């Protein structure tokens, strides 16, 4: 085990992860990067024919020279309908290749079959958000290397900065041509934006586009540019459309969640954020809040210049009604979103580079006023957790969560307890964000504004005289304790880290440990 050092949020983090030296978290906006960006090798076009296709995945992997120990990158726009990753590792296994580092932008429950490739040694470890079964597998200490969890922006940053070198980038593409130009906007497995594939296409040594819908040259619009692509391979099906996007995103019917959504809308209005740009998502509360916000904007004749999505029917309806000026779309959640991004020039795909990359000359995240987010835990210092549960299990990825905390006011909205498990803790199990970046916590039992957030005092001032149920975070903690009782501490083995959590600048903010149950 590597040496552990304490970081700026007083969490122990290793000085070295999977053989690479690490920088402990130094505080938001404190770490100054140096050096130059990574770059892929120079290639000449005379090595590429007019048709880059090969017969199958195995032929593609042979062509790019996949070897033991290489790192493979992949986007997750196919979400829980992805059929490429499992086929890919089956092919790699059949080639007898071992110790691959898999660095996707996320994994989903459909990727559970990858556990057998972790067991057999084909995959060494996963560097990417680990959801569900694979998170559980890692939590129980079965994975060989340390998991590295990064936000969507953090993955771009790591690849750009050379912290995460991708040998082979795999790009499942709902439509592509033989040159490798690709889009997610249409095709039988249409997924909308392909933004998460940008880093792989720009920085990987070798890039393979995998499609089930070959179109004539040129594939328009070319979100992925053919001149970054080495090989194109066709598969019969790259995804299950029903699981890539939902037909229509349903609004929650839970009265408690609707009440929280109501409070979110009340808060946003009372704090003066209505009609300003906002971050939208597809979570139950955030989506319900959005529909309440749309009603109020309509009543007051307000129009927001743009929304960052997460696009859904609710957001698309707002665009078409003129309540928002544009959708900057990072991932498209339902069929209305896919239709809109394919047709509406004011609904544009974005990437983690434009949206979130912390090591860039700006990004969109701080241009939004509000982002309504979830969390598995928050503590009385407003530090928040999105990856582990209170029992220590690593079950969720970071997604864009860390990246969206930089607007005027980030809002965590959730029921005060799940089952009888309270969400407001004395200390979160895993720190995914420092407290200073959380603007407000909104629950069915009260709204706590963070006085230490840079806009906290201003927001509190604006809320004076409103009839919102304002409380302190300590009061929320006390209510939760009174109703639920004190949970037992998680049984974790502090000598046995299983994963680390990166902050948006590549520094280490916390460590996740093996559970013992």
Partner 1 sequence: MPHQASAGREAKADLVVTLHAEGPPENEIRVESSAGRLFGDRIREVADTTLRILGVKNTSVEIRDRAAFDWTIMARVEAAAKRLYPNLEGEALPERVSETRPTLRDRMRRSRLYLPGNNPDLMQNAGLFQPDGVILDLEDSVAPAEKDAARILVRNALRAVDFGDAERMVRINPTPSGLQDLPALIPQHVNMILVPKAESGSDITEAANAINQIATRVGMTDPIWLMPILESAKGIWLAYEIASASEQVAAIAFGAEDFTRDVQAERTVEGRESFVARSMVVLGARAAGVQPIDTVFSDVENEEGLRASTTEAISLGFEGKGCIHPRQIKVIHETFRPADADITYALRVKAAMEEAERTGSGVISLGTKMVDPPVVARALRTLRVAEEMGIDCSALAPKQD
Residues that bind partner 1 (CB under 8 A): 255-256, 258-259, 390-391, 418-421, 444-445, 482-488, 490-491, 517
43 and 222 Cβ atoms separated by less than 8 Å: no
CA distance 479 to 495: 34
Phi, psi of 149 (to 5 degrees): -100, 125
Q: What's the closest the beta carbon of residue 515 comes to partner 1, in angstroms?
A: 9
Q: What's the closest the beta carbon of residue 408 comes to partner 1, in angstroms?
A: 28
Closer residue to partner 1, CB minimum distance, 343 or 488:
488
Closer residue to partner 1, CB minimum distance, 121 or 415:
415
Closer residue to partner 1, CB minimum distance, 455 or 492:
492
501 alpha carbon, distance to own chain's centre: 13
CA distance 363 to 228: 23
Q: What's the closest the beta carbon of residue 423 comes to partner 1, in angstroms?
A: 12
Q: What's the closest the beta carbon of residue 445 comes to partner 1, in angstroms?
A: 7
Q: What's the closest the beta carbon of residue 261 comes to partner 1, in angstroms?
A: 12
Closer residue to partner 1, CB minimum distance, 87 or 498:
498
Q: What's the closest the beta carbon of residue 121 comes to partner 1, in angstroms?
A: 31
Closer residue to partner 1, CB minimum distance, 74 or 270:
270
Q: How far is CA 404 from CA 91, 240, 268, 355, 369, in A?
A: 37, 29, 16, 9, 10
Q: What's the closest the beta carbon of residue 302 comes to partner 1, in angstroms?
A: 23
Closer residue to partner 1, CB minimum distance, 491 or 496:
491
Closer residue to partner 1, CB minimum distance, 5 or 484:
484
Phi, psi of 197 (to 5 degrees): -85, -10
* Positive or negative: CA dihedral 195, 58, 56, 232: positive
Q: In what order do the strands lie in the sheet with 384-385?
A: 384-385, 377-379, 424-425
Q: What's the closest the beta carbon of residue 267 comes to partner 1, in angstroms?
A: 16
Helices 284-300 and 255-270 cross at an angle (nearest 10°) of 50
CA distance 157 to 329: 19
CA distance 422 to 390: 9
Q: How far is CA 207 from CA 49, 65, 177, 197, 370, in A?
A: 15, 11, 14, 10, 36
353 alpha carbon, distance to own chain's centre: 13
Closer residue to partner 1, CB minimum distance, 148 or 258:
258
Q: Where are the alpha helices (DSSP H) in 205-283?
A: 241-244, 255-270
Closer residue to partner 1, CB minimum distance, 20 or 482:
482
339 and 312 Cβ atoms separated by less than 8 Å: no
Q: How many residues does the chain have?
A: 517
Closer residue to partner 1, CB minimum distance, 144 or 418:
418
Q: What's the closest the beta carbon of residue 134 comes to partner 1, in angstroms?
A: 20
Residue of 494, 480, 492 whose CA lies nearest to 444: 480
Q: What's the closest the beta carbon of residue 383 comes to partner 1, in angstroms?
A: 19
List the beta strands (DSSP E) in 377-507.
377-379, 384-385, 409-413, 417-418, 421-422, 424-425, 440-443, 446-449, 470-471, 492-502
Eight-state DSSP code of residue 394? B
Residue of 477, 371, 467, 484 whose CA lies nearest to 418: 484
Q: What's the closest the beta carbon of residue 56 comes to partner 1, in angstroms?
A: 44
Helix (H, G, I), strand (E, B) or coil at 295: helix
Closer residue to partner 1, CB minimum distance, 151 or 443:
443
């Amino acid at each position: 085990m590597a040496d552990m050092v304490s970081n700026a949020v007083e969490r122990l983090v290793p000085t070295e992860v999977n053989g690479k030296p690490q920088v402990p978290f130094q505080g938001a906006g404190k770490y100054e990067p140096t050096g130059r960006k990574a770059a892929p090798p120079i290639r000449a076009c005379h090595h590429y024919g007019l048709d880059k296709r090969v017969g199958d995945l195995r032929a593609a992997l042979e062509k790019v020279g996949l070897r033991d120990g290489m790192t493979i990158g992949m986007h997750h726009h196919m979400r829980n309908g992805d059929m490429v990753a499992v086929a890919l590792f089956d092919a790699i296994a059949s080639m007898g290749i071992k110790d691959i580092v898999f660095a996707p932008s996320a994994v989903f429950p459909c990727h559970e079959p990858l556990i057998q490739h972790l067991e057999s040694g084909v995959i060494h470890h996963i560097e990417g958000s680990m959801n569900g079964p694979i998170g559980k597998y890692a939590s129980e200490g079965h994975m060989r290397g340390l998991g590295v969890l990064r936000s969507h922006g953090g993955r771009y940053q790591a690849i750009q900065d050379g912290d995460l070198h991708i040998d082979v980038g795999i790009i499942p593409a709902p439509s592509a041509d033989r040159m490798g130009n690709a889009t997610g906007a249409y095709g039988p497995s249409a997924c909308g934006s392909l933004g998460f594939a940008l880093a792989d296409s720009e920085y990987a040594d070798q890039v393979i586009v995998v499609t089930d819908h070959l179109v004539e040259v040129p594939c328009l619009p070319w979100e992925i540019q053919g001149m970054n692509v080495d090989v194109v391979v066709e598969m019969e099906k790259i995804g299950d459309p029903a699981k890539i996007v939902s037909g229509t995103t349903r609004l929650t019917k839970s009265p408690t969640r609707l009440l929280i959504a109501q409070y979110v809308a009340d808060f946003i209005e009372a704090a003066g954020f209505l009609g300003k740009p906002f971050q939208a998502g597809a979570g139950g509360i955030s989506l319900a809040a959005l529909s309440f916000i749309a009603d109020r904007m309509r009543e007051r004749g307000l129009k927001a210049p743009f929304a960052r999505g997460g696009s859904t029917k609710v957001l698309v309806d707002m665009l078409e009604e003129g309540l928002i000026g544009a959708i900057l779309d990072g991932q498209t959640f339902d069929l209305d979103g896919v239709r809109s991004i394919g047709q509406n020039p004011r609904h544009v795909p974005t990437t983690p580079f434009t949206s979130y990359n912390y090591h860039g000359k700006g990004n969109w995240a701080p241009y939004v006023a509000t982002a309504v987010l979830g969390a598995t835990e928050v503590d009385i210092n407003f530090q928040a957790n999105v990856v582990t549960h209170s029992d220590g299990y690593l079950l969720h990825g970071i997604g864009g969560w860390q990246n969206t905390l930089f607007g005027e006011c980030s809002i965590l909205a959730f029921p005060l307890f799940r089952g009888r498990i309270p969400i407001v803790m004395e200390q979160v199990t895993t720190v995914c964000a420092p407290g200073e970046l959380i603007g407000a916590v909104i629950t069915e039992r009260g709204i706590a504004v963070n006085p230490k957030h840079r806009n906290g005092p201003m927001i509190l001032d604006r809320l004076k005289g409103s009839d919102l149920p304002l409380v302190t975070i300590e009061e929320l903690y006390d209510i939760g304790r009174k109703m639920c009782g004190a949970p037992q501490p998680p049984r974790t083995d502090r000598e046995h880290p299983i994963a680390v959590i990166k902050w948006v600048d590549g520094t280490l903010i916390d460590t996740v440990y093996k559970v013992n149950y």
